[in-house]
Structure 1
Amino acid sequence: MKIIVPMAGRGSRLRPHSLTVPKPLIPVAGQPIVHRLVKDIAKVLKQPIEEIAFVLGDPAFFGDEVVESLKQLANELGAKASIYRQDQPLGTGHAIMSAEPSLYGPAVIAYADTLIRAEFDLDPNADSVIWTKRVNNPEAYGVIKLNDKEEIVELVEKPEAFVSDQAVIGIYYFKDVAVLKSKLQEVLDENVMHGGEYQINDGIKRMMADGNIFKTGTVDEWMDCGNKNITLETNAKMLGFLKEDGEEILVDQSAILDNSKIIEPCYIGANVKLKNTTIGPYVSIGEGTVIEDSVVKNSLIQTQTTIKNANLDEAMIGNHVKYNGNFKKISIGDYSVLE
């Protein structure tokens, strides 16, 4: 089994936090988004992962540090890491085809801007499985249409009339991903584009037309990381799940608490220093951050940051930031919001 992870986008909706760090590498509940996603998929698959193919964008942004992080992730799962580049932002289908040498055999394709909680077995009779989540407002999503055999026969984008309440979340299994590759190659050769992009759905629809059997794998939780507010919600949910799972290192042993209190669940990284401070609930703090004389809840704070005299709620603060709640002078990066 292999996992294909297209992650070449710049994550513009999450700016300023994605200006210097690719969105899939932004930590949520103590781990980068793409690390959590790949590990959770491996748990669902319940079989060895031989290769993880990452499709990255511009090397100037997705540089050596990113590549090394992804190789380490693959190594932790006992898999080979393959690195590909999508030279132009030409859509989901184009991104997948950028990993063309790895497109053979059983594979999962997963877009690296979402996290899941799921427990199910892959249907051995299916040529493909599309992972879905039941939603209350299917008109806002791309959804699946099922026949009386519970097989997927159509993908419908933002239906005006009810089709189903199962939304496509961007994770797919293929018994042989080479079949999808051949159909996507037809899409590229025929220059079939929507909004100036080549889409995975056009390859999938051609597979369906050829009689390939598509089934659903419904996840229990689908957590997005598209913008700041949604990412904070995902951070809180994930912290809650980790506590339920009995995760051992929610507070690193090297953290220093000086007259400070932690209200669970929280993630406190290595060498964090807290002084006269209350943290939590639902706070993640990255390595080397110092917080003094503050109250912080429902927030995500990255590494090597210093915060003083703050009362923060629903805050997302990046790396190497200096913030004093009693500020007179302040320097905030592009696209920041103070509310």
Structure 2
Amino acid sequence: MGSTEEKVVAVIMVGGPTKGTRFRPLSLNIPKPLFPLAGQPMVHHPISACKRIPNLAQIFLVGFYEEREFALYLSSISNELKVPIRYLKEQKPHGSAGGLFHFRDLIMEDSPSHIFLLNCDVCSSFPLQQMLDAHKSYGGMGTILVIRVSAEAAHQFGELVADPTTNELLHYAEKPETFVSDLINCGVYIFTPEIFSAIQGVSTQRKERANLSRLSSFEALQSATTRSLPKDYVRLDQDILSPFAGKKQLYTYETMDYWEQIKTPAMSLKCSGLYLAQFRVTSSNLLASGDGTKNAIIIGDVYIHPSAKVHPTAKIGPNVSISANARIGAGSRLISCIILDDVEIKDNAVVIHAIVGWKSSIGRWSRVQADGDYNAKRGITILGEAVAVEDEVVVTNSIVLPNKTLNVSVQEEIIL
């Protein structure tokens, strides 16, 4: 079989409505994977990265959301990219590896030689082709995208030890209590179809263990944690990566590019900026430009939806993304913010380090601002849907839930 016929498929894990509570109030009226970063839904970035792989047969999204929530987006993006994209709804949690196994027949219907597995809530340049080349040279069952982080930050992620020469995964620890390594798992993988036998092996082992009624006390202790898990609930990290480490099956590919996890609205604003910067390289046609004559003054990387109306005396950027039908008034100043659909920003208003929710309005000479510490709980100001900030009101480091009207200034508050 020549390399020309080798097909690959991609699976993107999108999670579900029970999770993503840290993403409120923005996830109240839209699934988190469809929240726009750099003017494109979050899931669009991994999808377009997959599209750049040659011989891509299909893309699957796997999650717990209702299919209808993705239907509109998926039909438009499938047409645009000319690649079949299907949403597969899990009826119950199977774990990160179990979910893959549950849909194995569909995933394998094109007999792919390789399967990409990506998490939707990571922000990355997704160097998938480089990963694939590396994976083929290693000859293992799977390759994990990894990155070096500070020793202080590492414990929030899966830490791993890799052989510095061969890049083989030697040891894997999920969110360890003590420091193991500054190399962490980026949540982007490539597997050969052997992964399905490996997952099946975990389930089989569990069944056998359950059938052994008389366990030594040591084994009983060990299996106490796993005994409560259903047989078909298989976690990629604890059940596959840890046991297969050091067996010449799993390898690592280190990215020198950016990587972030998108757990909070503040991180989504940071990641929007990272994606805008990447557009300079991959799709500069999406970035706005202007010098204040016919168009507004644009500084740095800015995305403006074609349907948005921006006054030529406005000054916008860096890191600003403006969605459909927004109206940006004369003399307004926007820095590091996401402006969602149907927002009105009136004359001379200022928005800095903020996300302004759908159909909200910001009055004349008002300021919606924050100090911009993206790792802090309230490093940005968030206005939920249909929030009205009246004229000359200042909103600082605050979160405002939907359908509120603010006629006095607030600071460091959560407005319920």
Same fold (TM over 0.5): yes
Please name the residue that 1:275 is paired with: 329
- Unaligned ranges ≥5, structure 2: 1-7, 208-222, 287-302, 370-379, 394-399, 404-412
The correspondence of residues 83-232 of structure 1 with structure 2, limited to 5 A, is: 83-104=87-108, 105=112, 106-119=114-127, 120-122=130-132, 123=134, 124-126=136-138, 127=140, 128-137=142-151, 138-147=154-163, 148-159=165-176, 162-174=179-191, 176=192, 178-189=193-204, 190=206, 196=229, 198-201=234-237, 202-208=239-245, 211-232=248-269
User: Structure 1 residue 180: deviation in Å?
Assistant: 1.4
User: Structure 1 residue 28: deviation in Å?
Assistant: 1.3
- Unaligned ranges ≥5, structure 1: none
Change (3 A) 1:308 1:199: same
Change (3 A) 1:198 1:19: farther
Please name the residue that 1:297 is paired with: 352
| Structure number with bigger Rg | 2
Supply the distance in 1 between the matched residues of 2:327 and 2:363 (Cα, whole angstroms). 12
User: Structure 1 residue 38: deviation in Å?
Assistant: 2.0
Supply the distance in 1 between the matched residues of 2:77 and 2:186 (Cα, whole angstroms). 23
User: Structure 1 residue 17: deviation in Å?
Assistant: 1.3
Change (3 A) 1:332 1:266: closer
User: Structure 1 residue 332: deviation in Å?
Assistant: 2.7
Please, what is the CA RMSD of the aligned residues?
3.1
Please name the residue that 1:234 is paired with: 271
Q: Say yes or no: does 1:247 pair with 2:254.
A: no
Change (3 A) 1:107 1:302: farther
Q: Say yes or no: does 1:257 pair with 2:310.
A: yes
Please name the residue that 1:317 is paired with: 383
The residue type equivalent to 1:237 in the other structure is: L
> Matched residue pairs, number?
329
User: Structure 1 residue 23: deviation in Å?
Assistant: 0.8
2:357·2:384 contact (CA, 8 Å) conserved in 1?
yes
Supply the distance in 2 between the matched residues of 1:229 and 1:269 (Cα, whole angstroms). 18
Which structure exhibits the higher relative contact order, with contacts defined as CA atoms closer than 8 Å and separated by 6 or more residues? 1
1:51·1:74 contact (CA, 8 Å) conserved in 2?
no
**Secondary structure of residue in 2 paired with 1:248:** helix
User: Structure 1 residue 169: deviation in Å?
Assistant: 1.4
Change (3 A) 1:82 1:268: closer
User: Structure 1 residue 217: deviation in Å?
Assistant: 3.9
Supply the distance in 2 between the matched residues of 1:208 and 1:22 (Cα, whole angstroms). 35
Supply the distance in 1 between the matched residues of 2:107 and 2:245 (Cα, whole angstroms). 19
**Secondary structure of residue in 2 paired with 1:183:** helix
Please name the residue that 2:56 is paired with: 49
Change (3 A) 1:245 1:47: closer
TM-score (norm 2): 0.69
TM-score (norm 1): 0.83
Change (3 A) 1:246 1:80: closer
Supply the distance in 2 between the matched residues of 1:265 and 1:204 (Cα, whole angstroms). 37
Deviations 1:205-226 (A, max 9, x none): 4555764242324251112220
